[in-house]
């Protein structure tokens, strides 16, 4: 049963209801394809402003608007309680528009993020989490297979220059392939391990995805996938061993805390294991430069989506470091700090902490298999956001899953 909102049987439906059903099922597919980033490849398109890209962006926003309107017509009140900490982040970003160094860009990002959030929460109420995760693996599995074939059969799927030999498949960069493979591996492996779906097709997707992840050579994606998988396996083991539920909850939270502390204390060993030095491919030098700009506006920030648009930031950093192709701080947290200040960063941290605690509760106390996978995705996102700006608080495959497969809240008035 995929529907959470009941519809009349086929014989009794009108044309309008059939159209709504078609659009409802198309919504998650459009979001997954757009957020995967697999639709843009520098070997096939000259830049990311060609008409086809603009059309896809417009289609993405149109479907987000559709999902948000559908949500407001069916579960308007529940939207407030779905993810309050992330809503607080959106409110802070909206307030920051007036202080932004590029108000049009900040306004556009707030609009996109709000519509994306609304459409994802609509999916939470429209479909079951298991249907959405199976659909996610089906779409991304096809993307992974195409990336595998492209890398094996053509030079287009292989990186050149500094990262020569590493796979990028049908993506624009090896890190993009690695990120997509990491989240697909966590969800696909979770579906199999939790006994939600066990088919030869799923095993094939997991194997192909694992190969793409390894061959991409993305250390960040490998670390995120490893942490997510470890947390998932630990939580699943606690459930399978039938540990007393309250004790199991505190045990899992303690293990996650120890994993975080141990990871921080073993930074040097982890970097060496991943073939990196302590600068994480010069990321620490980049972070230091962006922190200088964050210190200039620590509370108001420069405005959401302004790092790449202001002439006061990227050109100076590129010239200082001698790296002409820098586009982001290579950290989702640092991006938030620069653009939204400490309030925005704290709101995002509060949302992530709330996600971790509540999914642990649902996974251990409620024995929810969907919560097990959601917990793994959240933990992997925390790691990935340390070194890449493509995750963090921006619309992404990570947030799509965290928003869409969350718990449904029903408000009853007495």
The predicted pLDDT at position 1 comes to 42
Q: How far apart are CA 73 and CA 205, in angstroms?
A: 37
| Cα 34 to chain centroid, rounded | 12
Paired with 167 in beta bridges are 158
Whether the full predicted model's pTM is greater than 0.85, yes or no, is yes
Ordered alpha helix ranges (H), 6-128: 15-36, 51-74, 76-82, 84-95, 103-126
Mean pLDDT on 280-284: 73
Confidence bin at 39 (pLDDT 50/70/90): low
Q: How far apart are CA 231 and CA 396, in angstroms?
A: 21
Confidence bin at 283 (pLDDT 50/70/90): confident
The predicted pLDDT at position 321 comes to 82
Dihedral sign, Cα of residue 233, residue 218, residue 309, residue 296: positive
Confidence bin at 314 (pLDDT 50/70/90): confident
Residue 160 per-residue DSSP state: -
Mean pLDDT on 69-86: 88
Lowest mean pLDDT among 3-12, 164-173, 256-265, 381-390: 3-12
Residue 95: pLDDT over 50: yes
Lowest mean pLDDT among 11-20, 29-38, 183-192, 400-409: 11-20
């Amino acid at each position: 049963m995929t529907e959470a909102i009941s519809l009349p049987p086929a014989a009794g439906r009108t044309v309008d209801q059939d159209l709504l059903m078609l659009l409802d099922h198309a919504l998650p597919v459009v979001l997954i394809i757009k957020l995967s980033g697999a639709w843009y490849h520098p070997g096939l398109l000259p830049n990311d402003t060609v008409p086809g890209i603009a059309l896809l962006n417009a289609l993405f926003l149109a479907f987000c608007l559709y999902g948000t309107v559908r949500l407001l017509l069916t579960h308007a009140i529940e939207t407030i309680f779905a993810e309050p900490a992330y809503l607080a982040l959106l409110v802070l970003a909206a307030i920051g528009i007036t202080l932004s160094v590029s108000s049009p860009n900040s306004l556009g990002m707030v609009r996109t993020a709000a519509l994306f959030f609304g459409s994802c929460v609509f999916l939470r109420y429209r479909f079951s989490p298991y249907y959405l995760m199976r659909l996610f693996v089906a779409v991304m599995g096809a993307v992974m297979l195409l990336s595998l074939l492209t890398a094996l059969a053509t030079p287009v799927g292989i990186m050149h220059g500094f990262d020569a030999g590493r796979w990028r498949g049908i993506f624009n960069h090896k890190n993009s392939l690695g990120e997509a493979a990491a989240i697909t591996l966590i969800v696909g492996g979770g579906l199999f391990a939790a006994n939600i779906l066990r088919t030869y097709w799923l095993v094939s997707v997991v194997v192909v995805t694992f190969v793409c992840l390894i061959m991409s050579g993305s250390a960040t994606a490998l670390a995120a996938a490893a942490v997510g998988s470890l947390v998932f396996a630990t939580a699943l083991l606690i459930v399978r061993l039938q540990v007393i539920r309250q004790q199991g909850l505190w045990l899992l939270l303690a293990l996650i805390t120890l994993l975080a502390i141990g990871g921080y204390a073993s930074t040097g060993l982890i970097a060496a294991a991943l073939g990196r030095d302590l600068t994480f491919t010069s990321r620490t030098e980049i972070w230091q430069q962006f922190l200088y700009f964050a210190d200039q506006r620590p509370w108001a920030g420069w405005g959401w989506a302004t790092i790449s648009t202001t002439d006061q930031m990227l050109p100076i950093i590129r010239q200082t470091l001698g790296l002409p192709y820098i586009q982001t701080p290579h950290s989702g947290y640092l991006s938030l700090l620069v653009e939204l200040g400490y309030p925005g960063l704290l709101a995002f941290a509060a949302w992530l902490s709330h996600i971790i605690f509540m999914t642990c509760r649902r996974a251990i106390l409620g024995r929810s298999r969907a919560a097990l996978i959601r917990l793994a995705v959240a933990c992997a996102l925390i790691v990935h956001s340390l070194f890449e700006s493509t995750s963090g608080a921006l619309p992404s495959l990570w947030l799509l899953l965290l928003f869409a497969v969350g718990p449904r809240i029903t408000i009853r008035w007495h």
